[in-house]
Amino acid sequence: MLIHFDQAELRYGDRVALKALTLLLGELRIGVIGLNGSGKTSFARLIAGLAKPTSGTVRLDGLDTVADEKAARAKTGFIFQNPGHQIILPIIREDVALGPKSRGLAAPEVERLVDEALTRFGISDLAGRRPHELSGGELQLAALAAVCVNRPDVVIFDEPTNQLDMKNRARVKAAIDGLGEQAVVISHDLELVADFGRVLVFHKGALAFDGAGQDAIGRYREIAGC
Ligand SMILES: Nc1ncnc2c1ncn2[C@@H]1O[C@H](COP(=O)(O)OP(=O)(O)O)[C@@H](O)[C@H]1O
Ligand SMILES: [Mg+2]
């Protein structure tokens, strides 16, 4: 999918979260790195239509995230920094079924899609659990299943391996690496994006670097002074 920022800016009152940005992205894997408060989540929210640009436009395959809101939104899936907050139904299976049900699919088809999504991310055994009974990594995978069951063109991850232990991190990394869908991955876990062909470095609400993973990490280290 082609993500097109055209002079897109995001302000919260007087505060500029993302300065006017013009950018075209079409790669399968896009990394986003930068210090806290540099505008990464704002950038991601603009893609997903969770925030409207205060000026300029964001288009997904030509669909404007404001003018064509519904169609544009259907192209994206967003995994929040704390995925526990996006699992809204009490049982994992029900939550994953929410999207297909809301599309009006017949019950057997809903069940088939849910089984397929749970199996795909290796969490069939968690289907009957409640979100608070899941580890951080399992929550990420459950949210990923609930997002991918809707067949988005792009999946956006906001710091997916934050606070995960090594085992959970490895599971989440494997899930991201194995994803057939396009992915935008915001991360402080630099190894996650190191081999991506395209990594954006944000600094103070502006794009400070746009290039290959290793080069981007080098630039980020300069900015961070370490
Ligand atoms: N809802 C909001 N209201 C006011 N300011 C916000 C809001 N969300 C983010 N900001 C500000 O916008 C800037 C960029 O934030 P954000 O995109 O969340 O950065 P990052 O994800 O890189 O940490 C920060 O200065 C932050 O304080
Ligand atoms: Mg953030």
Continuous H helices in 34-193? 40-48, 69-73, 92-102, 107-120, 136-148, 166-177
Q: What is the domain partition of the chain in residue ranges?
A: 82-151
β-strands 154-158, 76-79 pairing: parallel
What atom in ligand 1 is closest to the CA of residue 16? 12
Per-10-residue mean pLDDT, the chain, length 226? 98 97 98 98 98 98 98 97 94 98 97 98 98 96 98 98 96 97 98 97 98 98 94
Report the pLDDT value the prediction gives residue 226, as an integer from 0 to 100: 86
Q: What are phi and psi of 16, to 5 degrees?
A: -95, 110
Report the pLDDT value the prediction gives residue 168, as an integer from 0 to 100: 96
Tokens of 31: 């990394």
Residue nearest to atom 27 of ligand 1 (CA): 37
Q: Greatest CA span in the chain, whole angstroms?
A: 56
Residue whose tokens read 């194995």: 178
What atom in ligand 1 is closest to the CA of residue 158? 21
Report the pLDDT value the prediction gives residue 202, as an integer from 0 to 100: 98
